[in-house]
Structure 1
Amino acid sequence: MSHANSNTDEPVKAGRNSEAQTSSERLVALGGSVLRQVPGPLIGLIAVCIAFSWMSPYFLTERNLVNIFSQISEIGIMAVGAALVILIGGIDLSVGAVVALSLMVNAWLYRDFGVPFVFSSLVGLGVGALVGLVNGVLSTYGRVQPFVATLATMSACSGLALYVTNGGPVTGFPDWFTGLASLRIFGLPFESLLMVTIFLTVAWWLTFRPTGRSLYAIGGSEEVARLSGINTRQVKILVYVIAGFLAAVASLVLGARLDSAHPTAGISDLLSVIAVVVIGGASLAGGSGGMLGTFIGLLIIGVLRNGMALLNVSPNLQPVVIGIAIIIAVMLDRKTAN
């Protein structure tokens, strides 16, 4: 009798084991699905933060985290414009030179001509938008490749930034302006709040406005976007104008922090700006990317620079480490996308 009962129990146990195995397989599949939804750059950012937290006791302090956001503000503002240009399948090599030219024109008008600083700043912002307009017109109506067009304007802006003051720096900005660099709102730097506001505004525009969403269509296929009724030339010019204007905004952030204008300021940030966008998952072919990914890429660059400075890593080796991080982040992003 007991033997019969054991025989009847075996199918029951087998069924329970099968159900348990099926449940575990579902959990594994669910975990894999969730992991694929996590952006690769975010995984890289978390890994870098954990590593620096372990290697330096000063990394996770409130003061250091605030410093990171403050140090990346102007690069982040430039990266927003660069991301928009890359989103439509273009490239803007002039953003760093626009920072230099806009800041120098602003300081030149203020010092040498006595123009009130508010008005000279508006002129500097206008210079940035004008350079963006030239880039947009050259790459649309002029049918010049964006790489060539923005390379030409980069060279012209760099030369003009040196010419307006004969290569010399300009110092002595108003106290209220330089005070913005140390201004805190709810304990956070004003320049960081400005950067985050720009990110959120552009993210809203890309998500909820037809003009913003059209950038993805143009980057995916410009011809299809044109046949769909999108004025591709107008949108592309608008994007380049925004990129130039934001570079000029970044020049104000940099000028307030340094309390001076240098004719080469911002030019060396070009590669960092492009790296931020690429690390954030944007495709250089256009049509993919966004503000969230760009912001994560910005944090990766900022954390790497800050962490290596805390560990006293040689400045000559820091670009090597950042280059390796770029490759790893991009590979992680491609892996999680598959």
Structure 2
Amino acid sequence: MMIKNEAELQSKVEVAEKSSFDFAKWWDRVGILIVLIALIVLMSVVAPNFNRIGNLLNIARSISVNAILAAGLTFVILTGGIDLSVGSIIAVSGVVSVILAMAGTPSVLAVVLGMAAGGACGLVNGLLTSVLMLAPFIVTLGTMTFLRGLAYTITAGEPIVSSDLSFKVLGNGYVAGFPVPVIVMAAVYGVAWFLLERTTYGRHVYAVGGNAQAARLAGVRVGRVVTSVYVIAGICAGLAGAIFAARVISAQPTAGTGYELDAIAAVVLGGTSLGGGRGRIIGTLIGSVILGVLTTGLILLDVPFFTQLLIKGLVIILAVSIDSLKTKKFSFFSKTT
């Protein structure tokens, strides 16, 4: 009789699983694309000049900084961490790149050194998190404030403007009709996709986010992986800072303010779980495009800035809510209910 009851219970469980709706899988594969397509259609109808080629290229250019930032953050969030300092790293790296370029440093080297400065900031975050075992939220909240203060200190609180900035093509140039920032963004996502999807390192990142203790027992050097993802986030933020500085042809101590929230929203909207271990870099790109289309559409509709902040805040809450819903399965018409 016991065996029969167990068999009946197992049968009911299998029926429930077959009749359940996997929201996480649906959102990652279909839902996010539906949202993007629906938003583009909506803005094409209600926003004047939205679907013109020039405007679409401007949208692509405008999302490049946030998208590159979000690409780096994807690595961090996949491990179950968070980095609130990337916006401030944009400011510091931009300042470093501009000052070096104005001092006569070759443009490519100035940008690379700015990225290196971002990587160094990420290294500090990673070591504090992995070696001292400090909470990443607190660590990066502290470095966010420190680095913003550092940017203000270096610039004395004033923008450093250079009308003949040697690497300004990085933010304003075109190659074959495509904005340079968009090409750089595509390259960043290509490298990020390869690292996460085609390398052992990528599998280790997912493993640490899924279960750090199990990954450690399996031979993964968890501390090194955690440190490395913060370095990657810092390098991406450094590149984003150089692009931002090139676009405005100056070093701005206020650059990147609030960008970390947009980047986190893009990552979570794209399907990466805040709990770590699940997500795809392509989803992050789609999430960044959604935010870019939304922002541009609101501007074209002359929506006041403070109202835009309200809407962005709701989008961030929505992104976190979706992440929570993705951990649950909804059963419809289940015979067991």
Instruction: Give the TM-score range, shorter chain.
Output: 0.7 to 0.9
1:305 is matched with 295
Q: Distance in 1 between matches of 2:151 and 2:52?
A: 39
How far residue 268 of structure 1 moved from its aligned partner, in angstroms, is 2.4
Give 1:264 deviation, angstroms.
1.2
Q: Which runs of 5+ in 2 are unaligned?
A: 1-18, 330-337
The one-letter amino acid of 1:106's match is S
Residue in 2 that maps onto 1:66: 57
- Answer yes or no: is the 8 Å Cα contact 1:178–1:256 preserved in 2: yes
Pair 1:150–1:35, CA change in 2 (3 A): closer
Q: 1:36 to 1:84 in 2, by over 3 A?
A: closer
> Could you say which residue in structure 2 is the equivalent of 1:4?
none
Structure 1 residue 268 corresponds to structure 2 residue 261: no
The alpha carbon displacement at 1:110 in A equals 4.1
- Deviation string for 1:108-128 (max 9, x for gaps)? 3444x5545444433322211
- Per-residue CA deviations over 1:245-267 (Å, capped at 9, x if unaligned) read 11000011101100011111012
In the alignment, structure 1 residue 277 sits paired with structure 2 residue 277: no
- The answer (yes or no) to whether the contact 1:93–1:151 under 8 Å persists in 2 is yes
- Measure how far apart 1:155 and its partner are: 1.4
Tell which deviates more after alignment, 120-129 or 42-51. 120-129
Judged with a 3 Å threshold, the aligned counterparts in structure 2 of structure 1 residues 285 and 198 are, in CA distance, closer, same or farther, namely same
| CA-CA distance at 1:180 after TM superposition | 3.3
Asked if 1:52 is matched to 2:43, the reply is yes
Matches within 5 A, 1:201-220: 201-220=191-210
Which residue in the other structure is 1:108 paired with? 99
Q: Which amino acid aligns with 1:162?
A: Y
Distance in 2, matches of 1:310 and 1:243, equals 32
In 2, the alpha carbon distance for the partners of 1:332 and 1:84 equals: 19
Structure 1, unmatched stretches of 5+, are 1-28
TM-score of the pair, normalised by structure 1: 0.84
SS in 2 for 1:85: helix
Task: Name the larger-Rg structure.
Answer: 1
SS at 1:230 equivalent = coil
Aligned AA (1:92)? D
2:9 match: none
Question: What is the aligned-residue RMSD (CA, Å)?
Answer: 2.4
Q: Aligned AA for 1:100?
A: A
1:138 Cα deviation from its structure 2 partner: 0.4
Structure 2 counterpart of 1:170? 160
Percentage identity across paired residues of the two chains: 40
Residue identity matched to 1:281: G
Once the two structures are superposed, residues 286-328 of structure 1 have per-residue CA deviations (whole angstroms, 9 ceiling, x without a partner) of 1111111101110110000011111111111112223334455
Say yes or no: does 1:95 pair with 2:86: yes
Distance, in Å, in 2 between the alignment partners of 1:35 and 1:155 is 38
Which shows bigger deviation, 269-278 or 32-41? Answer: 32-41
Aligned counterparts of 2:298 and 2:86: Cα–Cα separation in 1: 26
Residues 298/224 of structure 1: CA separation in 2 closer, same or farther (3 Å cut)? same
How far apart, in 1, do the equivalents of 2:223 and 2:270 lie?
26
Equivalent residues in 2 for 1:128-167, closer than 5 Å: 128-167=118-157
Q: How many Å separate the matches in 2 of 1:108 and 1:152? A: 25
Say whether residues 1:82 and 2:68 are aligned partners: no
Could you tell me how far 1:216 is from its partner in structure 2?
Answer: 0.9
1:250 to 240, 253, 261: 240
Please give the alpha-carbon distance, in whole angstroms, between the structure 1 residues aligned to 2:137 and 2:129. Answer: 9
Amino acid across the alignment from 1:207? E
**1:66-88 deviations in Å (ceiling 9; x for gaps):** 11110011111111111110000
